Amino acid sequence: MLKTLENLNFNNSFARLADNYYSRVDPTPFSKPTHLISFNHAVAELIGLDPEQRHRREFCDYITGKQTWPGSDPLAMLYAGHQFGQRVTQVGDAHAILLGEVNHRGATNWDLQLIGGGMTPYSSPGDGRAQLPATIREYLCSEAMHALHIPTTRSLCVVAAEDERYGETMETEAMLVRVADSHVRFGSFEVFYYREQYEQIKILADYVIEQHFPELIDSKNKYNDWLKAIIKRTAHLIAQWQTVGFTHGVMNTDNMSVLGLTLDYGSYGFIETFDPGYRSNHCDHHGRYAFDQQPSIGLWNLSCLLQALTPILNTEEAMDCLKDYESIFFNHYYDLMGKKLGMLETDEEAIDIINGLLKLMVEDKRDYTNTLRMLGNFKIAEIDQRLRDHFISRAEFDRWADIYTARLEKENLLDIERKKRMDAVNPKFILRNHLAQQAIDKATREKDYAEIEKLFTILSDPFSEQPEHEAYAAESPDWVESMSVGCSS
C-alpha cells in the first residue's frame, strides 16, 4: 500500500554508525515560497509514496526541510577523494543532506538525499545550495540512464524557489531529491586511510557488506571478495557508459560509487559527432576525464580504493584482482557492442568488425547514436542506400559492409529479427546537450516546465520509434558546438 508524506517507512542505518562518519545537520528551507518543477511517478512508487501526495500543500515543505519527515535522521556524509588526480584530504557532502532510508514492501532500502539542502560542515562559503539548471540536468539524465538500463541514482522530484544564487551566472535556487541504494563512495574509505584510522575502514566495510553484499558476510576472505565485486561492477558500469557514448566529466574518486552506480551528475555529456577524445567538462583542460580515458580512469580510481582498503585486505591477492579489471571491462564492452551490431557471438572477427565501424565513424565524423540506430536497417541481400549515403567515405563503407555481410550470413539470422534485437539495444533518443538546454531555458526564463515533462517522457522510452517525436532524435544544430558545461552545471 502506498504511503502519505507522514507515514513513509523511514530509517537511517548509516546514522547508527559512529558520528565520525558524518555530521548531523538539518536541511535549511528556502526563505521564499517554493513550487514543484517536476515529479517522477515511477520513483515515488518505488519508495512507496503515493504520487497524489505531490498535490498537497505540504509537499514542498517536506521536500525542502520546512517540515521534518517522521523517522528521518538527516546528516551530511564525510569522505575524501582524489580530484583530477590530486588527493584532497576532506570533501564531504557540501550541498547534499542524507535524509534517511525508505523501505517499501521489504525490498531495497532506498537512500533519500536532498541536493541543495543548505550549508553543511563540509561546505565552502556560499555553498550548500543547488541551481535550477543543474538539478534539471541531473533529473533528466538520471532517468535517461535508468531507461538505458545503466546502473544509476535516480530522482524523485525537483522543487525551486524565488531565491537566487550565483554560480557561473545568477540562477534560481532549487532542490532535488536523489534516490539510490547507497551513497557510499570510494572516497568514504580514503578519508580514514589517510587519517590512519584503520578500524573505521573495517567498520564501514562491514556495514556496506552487510547492507549491500550479504552473500559475502560468511566468506572466509570477504574483504578481498568484496573488492572483486566492486571491480567487476565498476568495469561493467564504464563499459556500459562507453557503449552509449556517455561521458561523466568528473570521475573523481569521491564521485565513484562502491555499488557501481552512476553517481553525481555534473558536467556530463553524450557524444554526438563521434570523437573518442570528447570532453564534456570545460574545466577538464587536459582531458583527464575525456570519453576515451574513462576505462583507464576507472582502473586508476580502483587502485586508490585498493590503497585505502589495504589495512583489511590480503594485499598481494588484491593486486591480482585489480589485474583482472581490463579483461572484465573489454569482455563486457565488446559483448555489448557485438549485440549493438546484431552479432550473436563476440570473437576476434566480431571485434575487428566493431572497431572497423568505429574507425569509419570517427573519420567521417558521424553521429554515434544515430549511426548505430540506422545500422539496424542493414540487409544482407542489399545495402540500404540511406545507410550507405550516411558515410562520406563510401568506398571504405563498402569494404566494411562486405566483411559485415559475410559475418551476418554465417550467423544466419533473418534481417527482421536482427533489426528487432538491435533496436532493443541501440537507443533512438539520448539526452543531447541542446535538448537539455532548451528545457532549462524555458524553465528559467519563462517558468515553463512543459519541455522538461516532454523530454522526461521521451527519454523514459529511448528504444521506441516515437515518430511523433522525430525531431528529438535529430543531430544537434551547429550552435551546440559553442556550448560547454562546467564543473558546477
Which residues carry out catalysis?
Answer: 254
Alpha carbon 211 to chain centroid, angstroms: 21
Is residue 341 within 8 A of residue 400, CB to CB? The reply is no
Q: Which three cell numbers stand for residue 424?
A: 532493443
Identify the helix (H) or strand (E) that includes residue 176.
strand 170-180
Alpha carbon 9 to its chain centroid, in Å, reads 26
| Contact between residue 194 and residue 221 where contact means Cβ atoms under 8 Å apart | no
13 membership: H or E segment, kind and range: none
C-alpha cell at 221: 576472505
Q: Residue 468 contacts by C-beta under 8 Å, 6 or more apart in sequence? A: none
> Angle at the Cα of 60 (from 56 to 64), degrees rounded to 5?
155
How far apart CA 465 and CA 232 sit, in angstroms, is 33
Q: How many angstroms separate the CA atoms of 45 and 42, rounded? A: 5
Nearest to 256 by CA among 190, 186, 205: 186
Task: Please report, in angstroms and rounded to a whole number, the separation of the first and last CA atoms in the chain.
Answer: 38
CA distances from 245 to 274, 358, 411, 433 (A): 8, 12, 27, 13
Report the DSSP beta bridge partners of residue 87: 82
| Identity at 23, one-letter amino acid code | S
- Rounded Cα distance, 108 and 480, in Å: 40
Backbone angles phi, psi at 335, to 5 degrees: -65, -45
**All 3 cell numbers of residue 376?**
539496424
Looking at this protein, which amino acid is placed at residue 17?
Answer: L
Nearest Cα residue to 138 out of 121, 154, 161, 117? 154
Report the SS3 class of residue 116: coil
| Residue pair 313/224 in contact by the 8 Å Cβ criterion | yes
Type and span of the H or E element at 405: helix 394-411
- Taking the C-alpha atoms of residue 132 and residue 36, their distance in angstroms, rounded to an integer, is 12
Distance of CA 345 to the CA centre of its chain: 28
